[in-house]
Structure 1
Amino acid sequence: MSVDVQLRFGSEAITEYSKANQEPAWFLEKRLAGLKAAGELPLPALEKTKIDKWNTAGFDPFQTTAKIASANELSDLVKGQIDVDSVKNLVVQKNASAVFQAVTDELKAKGVIFTTLADALQNHGELVQKYMYQVVAPDEHKLSALHAAVVNGGVFLYVPKNVEVDVPLQAVYEVAGDQALLCPHVLIVAEANSKVTYVDTFVSGEGKDMVANSIVEVFVGAGASVQVASVRSLSAEVHDYSFRRATVDRDGKMEWILGEMNDGNTVANNTTILKGTGSNALTKSISVGTGSQRQNLTSQVQHIGTHSESDMVSKAVMTGEAVSILNGITKIEKGAEKANGVQAENILMLSDKARGDANPILLIDEDDVKAGHAASVGRVSEESIYYLMSRGISRQDAERLIILGFLDPVVSEIPVEEVRNKLRQALERKLG
């Protein structure tokens, strides 16, 4: 059976979509190479999680939607993620269409490029080609190959040398409709001594058998600082696969703030490569598992540069019959002298039928380093509940307050108020 039939789409559909979007020839070549590789490569090997029966390719990749002229015309679902009365720098994508974009003149005057991937391929093609797929290769596994074949949107963010962007730049991604696909590629390039914050949210409307397959690539220049915050609140009808990776040059800093609030099965891999001397990575993530949900969430840092530092904190709350695998991997390469890598994975269990595995892993090939890890899987402290109940708080409210306090050190770091509030609402919803 051919690859085209297996995947419900083929080279003709991909070529037609590419030409309709006026993509450069090299990008179409990447697409067709990805299609071929998708028929040959295995799915990614995941710790304690099998995804061979998950929906990875059963989708219609190019469902499009008309553009709109005003933020007031956005769906209520999307408007709930933004400040409609003060839209400044925003990209909104629904399925395979960028439906809305707003960029201030002030941002443009600084030489910052914040635009859709489709626009960047047309107007900044050489710059995109220089960086795209340099840290997440299309031939790593079947999911990355599929992504390369049917990528249907995303964002390109470029910050010139010595430019600091004071306000967060935001994107909202919506998937809706039967067999719909959301497949954005986010490419962030921060030149030397620049600074920027990018925030995105993933939401879903009505539909069945939906898939999200996203990739984020970040390039942090010498002395630059990049903060990426992402909140995903996709329904149980969406299988979500996300691969985020950053490479950090000398004295650069990469910070990830991640909220995995999906109701459906989720795979997320978040990796930072500390290449330069004195480079730094900070990763904070939270997740809540409910129902029969399955999650496999990996945070990883690779130390290559000397005097590099990393800190990873992952927190999860498990209810129902949900299963969550939290993997923390600190890899210190030979020659990365004076590196310092620490990590902690903490899981709070609210059900006897839920399962949470915290897997801290240290891989050290250098002697002159510091490294540490901590992991815990436990229940809400009865002493803490009793203390709050003695102040007149019901047991249910006491448990909720303890759980929210457990997760709030990450929630409070979200740099956009609307997104932060929505994350808190998602927590309230998932925790009942």
Structure 2
Amino acid sequence: MIAETKLSVSQQDVRSFSVENGEPDWFTELRVQALEKAETVPMPVPDKTKITTWNFTQFEQFHVESSTYSSLNELPEHVKALIDLESENQNLYIQHNQTPAFISLTEDLKAKGVILTNIITAIKEYPELVKKYFMTNAVKVDEHKLTALHAALVNGGTFLYVPKNVVVEQPIQTVYIHDHESAPLFNHVLVVADDNSAVTYVENYISANEQAAGIANIITEVIAESNAKIEYGSVDTLAKGVTTYVNRRGHAGRDSQIEWALGMMNDGNTISDNTTQLMGDGSVSHSKTVVVGRGKQIQNFTTRITHFGKNTESFILKHGVVKDSATSIFNGIGKIEHGASKSDAEQESRVLMLSEKARGDANPMLLIDEDDVMAGHAASVGRVDPVQLYYLMSRGISRKEAERLVIHGFLAPVVNQLPIEAVKKQLTDVIERKVK
């Protein structure tokens, strides 16, 4: 199926969906105008990956109703495994396909003005806040066909807002279950930390059904206002039949900090864009990504951090393992704009290939338009170090177990950054399953 073919929905379909949801007029018009743009703007062109035969635009059903849960005890076992069921302080949102299935926010956070809700409810109940941030700074509607299509068809996601001077001590967790065999997921996550606030947000994308298929068009916007800190963790484990476009963007104000820890474990073809804009002086962003590719899947991961403010700092770390006939492309881009003096942009990309037919490319780039800065990069693509294997095997460990230990050690810098133990264990288990 060709990505450039005619869209599966019409403007009338989009308008009817928005009206049925009870969305305000401004958002209905945003949807309709975005669909118009989706019909004319081009597809994105990821470096070294041809996606013209990938299906991002054709689907039979746009919206399906799925299960909801009145208590944590009703959750499926694979979801329970991700959650601390013993904790009385649950800050949690669960979505089943496009249906809000469970939500819990502690009373003290509600009293402080923290908002955690699904994105469609937020559009209706907090229109001024959503309108201020929704695809205005981090991601623009008309960047390309997939961003425009996303704005037109968004049918799920989360809105998290932390007011000024509020520090959220416990992580906010979301779980997105996608198990439908045809309906697409257009998920929008909007996380805003206002001045002098702090929050940790962790999400899971899971396919409870191995037969799950279709399209996942995911956009995340992370906005850190002045002196705010956002720690963002994610583990993506969508099924082989799901073709995924995921765009996670950060927008950092003065003296703010955005930390990314991303476990990209999808089994289907995936295009990922993780971009952070360091707008304010003194802002910081560190992006850490771990990837495992297997089978015949094709994956492309671009991480870009652009420095606009003075005295800004960035670090990109990407570790990937590729096996079977899989292909994984890692593009790391550190950009320092003119005027961003005293800034520091560093990056490291490392790829392990576990089979002869596996392909891994690490492409570090530094684009520097300012003199008074620091910048550096490192990249490597190779196989498991025979010296490390020899050292372990000389102590009585089998070759298979030695390889397993080396791989886990190689991926540990990202795995260890996830703040929720159950999610960290999930990522470890997924890695174990995918590399064995």
Q: What TM-score do the two structures reach when normalised by structure 1?
A: 0.97
1:315 aligns to 2:316 (yes or no):
no
Secondary structure of 2:247 counterpart: strand
Number of equivalences: 429
Secondary structure of 1:108 counterpart: helix
Cα displacement (A) at 1:320: 0.4
Match of 2:205 in 1: 202
Q: Which segments of structure 1 move beyond 3 Å, counting only runs of 4 or more? A: 84-87
CA distance in structure 1 between the partners assigned to 2:18 and 2:92 by the alignment: 24
Cα displacement (A) at 1:54: 1.0
Match of 1:58 in 2: 58
Q: Could you tell which deviates more after superposition, 149-158 or 85-94?
A: 85-94
Match of 1:102 in 2: 104
1:166 aligns to 2:174 (yes or no):
no
CA deviation profile, 1:84-140 (whole Å, cap 9, x unmatched): 343711111122211111111111011111111122112111111011111211111
Match of 1:428 in 2: 432
Q: Could you tell which deviates more after superposition, 278-287 or 172-181?
A: 172-181
Match of 1:150 in 2: 153
Map of 1:192-271 to 2, 5 A cutoff? 192-206=195-209, 207-271=211-275
Residue identity matched to 1:185: H
Residue identity matched to 1:313: L
Map of 1:121-160 to 2, 5 A cutoff? 121-134=123-136, 135-160=138-163
Cα displacement (A) at 1:204: 1.0
Secondary structure of 1:19 counterpart: helix
Cα displacement (A) at 1:208: 4.9
CA distance in structure 1 between the partners assigned to 2:252 and 2:212 by the alignment: 39
1:78 aligns to 2:82 (yes or no):
no
1:14 aligns to 2:14 (yes or no):
yes
Pairing partner for 2:359 from 338, 355, 358:
355
Change (3 A) 1:85 1:210: farther
Contact in 2 for aligned 1:63/1:181 (Cα 8 Å): no
Map of 1:110-129 to 2, 5 A cutoff? 110-129=112-131
Match of 1:300 in 2: 304
Contact in 2 for aligned 1:58/1:179 (Cα 8 Å): no
RMSD value over aligned CA atoms? 1.4
Secondary structure of 2:35 counterpart: helix
Residue identity matched to 2:204: T
CA deviation profile, 1:190-224 (whole Å, cap 9, x unmatched): 11111001100001133353211111111111111
Q: What TM-score do the two structures reach when normalised by structure 2?
A: 0.96
Residue identity matched to 2:112: K
Match of 1:90 in 2: 92
Cα displacement (A) at 1:66: 4.3
CA deviation profile, 1:318-367 (whole Å, cap 9, x unmatched): 10011000000001000000110000100011111000000000000101
Contact in 2 for aligned 1:55/1:209 (Cα 8 Å): no
Gaps of 5+ in 1: none
Residue identity matched to 1:19: V
Contact in 1 for aligned 2:178/2:212 (Cα 8 Å): no
Secondary structure of 1:84 counterpart: coil
**Seq. identity, %:** 48
CA distance in structure 2 between the partners assigned to 1:350 and 1:375 by the alignment: 17
Residue identity matched to 1:67: T
Match of 1:39 in 2: 39
Contact in 1 for aligned 2:39/2:145 (Cα 8 Å): yes
CA deviation profile, 1:410-430 (whole Å, cap 9, x unmatched): 101101111100000000010
